Amino acid sequence: MFNRDALAAALADGGGLDFNALAATHAALFSQGAVELPAATLSAIRQLVAAIESVVALPSYRDRVLSWAPPGIGGEPPARSVFFGYDFHLVDAQPKLIEINTNAGGGLLNTCLLRAHGAAEAAAKIEADFVAMFREEWRLARGDAPLSRIAIVDENPAAQYLAPEFELFRHLFERHGVAAVIADPAEFAEAGGRLLHRGAAVDLVYNRLTDFSLDTPASAALRAAAAAGGVVVTPHPFAHALYADKRNLTLFSDPATLAEWGLPTATRATLLAGVPRTVAVRAEGDEKAGERFWAERKRWFFKPAAGFGSRAAYRGDKLTKRVFEEILQGGYIAQEIAPPSEHQVWVGGEPQQMKADIRAYVYQGRVQLFAARLYQGQTTNFRTPGGGFAPVFAL
């Protein structure tokens, strides 16, 4: 049962946030509903995450995905990268992987929601796990050296929709003895290989940028310091290339490629059942490709390979011919549509049907937290009354 006062207390205690002010600007950030899922569904998600990790470890997979990665992402860092978000739709209670993110937001917002649903002990354990995750990233890169200062980084952070979560993280780090700042990448300077923010050295960057390769002018100092080994960046551009480029889904869902790589039969079955068939959209060299995709467009969801947040993504049945011609110019993948599950949520005393995306927050292949995003319409939007983040509980 949702408790508004408990959520308000969690936001105030966790980050000095005022619930009423937040509700005025983010009316659809938190849903009052919760999603209950069979334990078998959650277990299937964990199995799929483990199967993907086994593929990512293969040299042949890495060679393939790094061949289309942006230039200059550097070699693999010792740290693993925080807050992988595996996003799923559920079809007949079976998880279908829609995409993998390597800077998934909402983790701390969802621990506040757990408190609002009476799961304060679970929330505290997850928050402690989050802190341990950042410390482990630092340990992998720097051993026993002290971690003194973290920068939470995004472009114009105060204007980001999830800016309240940045404050939650800043307070969380400081409660655990680590100084923390929230910064735009343009506020940094690089000196002697170190990253400086207003003259103070930054040890670790919690990277919330959608500049996944750190190649914009604003990220120049951050990129230079990272290349010099003077700052630990997590999530790291290398992790995005390994996991989050949507072209990688074409490999996870291709039975011939998985067989060629010698994966065990059970692992292949897990991947093919859980990753909707995904293919690159190519018109060049295949004159009939465009005609086939157009004829079958209702079967596909079209996404830019390097996109995020549903930007420039289209359901095939909603496509205009003009937009489809732009898609054929390249840079898109087509994924078989896996419709989201629907759940009843009470809004203003009335039941509403909401679609759900299920997110697994993952570190080093282990699921730390399950959460849902409830919405109406084509994609998640944080605009649906009664929608927003919702906790996930096992039946």
Dump pLDDT digits (tens) for 19-62: 999 999 999 999 998 999 999 999 999 999 999 999 999 999 99
Q: How do residues 331-372 score in pLDDT, each as one tens digit?
A: 788 899 999 999 988 776 788 899 999 999 999 999 999 999
Name the residue with tokens 């419709």.
339
- pLDDT exceeds 80 at position 260: yes
Within a domain: 2: no
Within a domain: 85: no
- pLDDT exceeds 90 at position 9: yes
Half-sphere exposure of 238 (CA within 13 A, CB side): 16
Q: Please say which residue of 291, 311, 337 terminates a domain.
A: 337
Q: Please say which residue of 183, 200, 234 terminates a domain.
A: 234
Within a domain: 304: yes
Same domain? 227 vs 283: no
pLDDT-based confidence at 307, cuts 50/70/90? low
Please check whether residue 274 is in contact with residue 124, taking contact to mean a CB–CB distance below 8 angstroms. no
Centre a 10 Å sphere on the Cβ of residue 192 and count the other Cβ atoms it contains: 9
- pLDDT exceeds 60 at position 310: no
Name the residue with tokens 């609002």.
116
Q: How do residues 61-109 score in pLDDT, each as one tens digit?
A: 999 999 988 887 878 888 889 999 999 999 999 999 999 999 899 999 9
- pLDDT exceeds 60 at position 309: no
Same domain? 226 vs 299: no
Q: Which residues have CB under 8 Å from 365's CB, separation 6+?
A: 49, 50, 53
Within a domain: 312: yes
The confidence score (pLDDT) of residue 283 equals: 55
Question: d(Cα 253, Cα 256) in Å, to the nearest integer?
Answer: 9
Please check whether residue 215 is in contact with residue 185, taking contact to mean a CB–CB distance below 8 angstroms. no
Within a domain: 363: no
Same domain? 167 vs 219: yes
Average pLDDT, the chain: 92
DSSP for 165-204, please give it: HHHHHHHHHHHTT-EEEEE-GGGEEEETTEEEETTEEESE
Supply φ then ψ for residue 384, to 5 degrees.
-80, 125
**In the predicted model, what is the mean pLDDT of residues 137-152?**
97
The confidence score (pLDDT) of residue 286 equals: 61
Please check whether residue 188 is in contact with residue 196, taking contact to mean a CB–CB distance below 8 angstroms. yes
Please check whether residue 227 is in contact with residue 213, taking contact to mean a CB–CB distance below 8 angstroms. no
Within a domain: 11: no
- pLDDT exceeds 80 at position 114: yes
Q: Which of 134, 85, 97, 142 is nearest to 249 (CA)?
A: 97
Same domain? 284 vs 213: no
Within a domain: 213: yes
* Per-position b or e across 37-64, b if 16+ CB within 10 A of its CB: beeebbebbbbbbebbebbbeeeebbeb
What CATH number should be reported for the domain holding residue 150?
Answer: 3.40.50.20
Same domain? 220 vs 295: no
Full domain range(s) for residue 329: 277-337
Within a domain: 241: no
Q: Which of 94, 133, 118, 34 is nearest to 341 (CA)?
A: 94
Centre a 10 Å sphere on the Cβ of residue 389 and count the other Cβ atoms it contains: 21
Q: Please say which residue of 337, 361, 377 terminates a domain.
A: 337
What CATH number should be reported for the domain holding residue 282?
Answer: 3.30.1490.20
Please check whether residue 373 is in contact with residue 361, taking contact to mean a CB–CB distance below 8 angstroms. no
Length of the chain: 395
Same domain? 162 vs 225: yes
Contacts 24+ apart (CB under 8 A), 282-290: 282/330, 283/328, 283/329, 283/330, 284/330, 289/328, 290/324, 290/328
Number of compact structural domains in the chain: 2
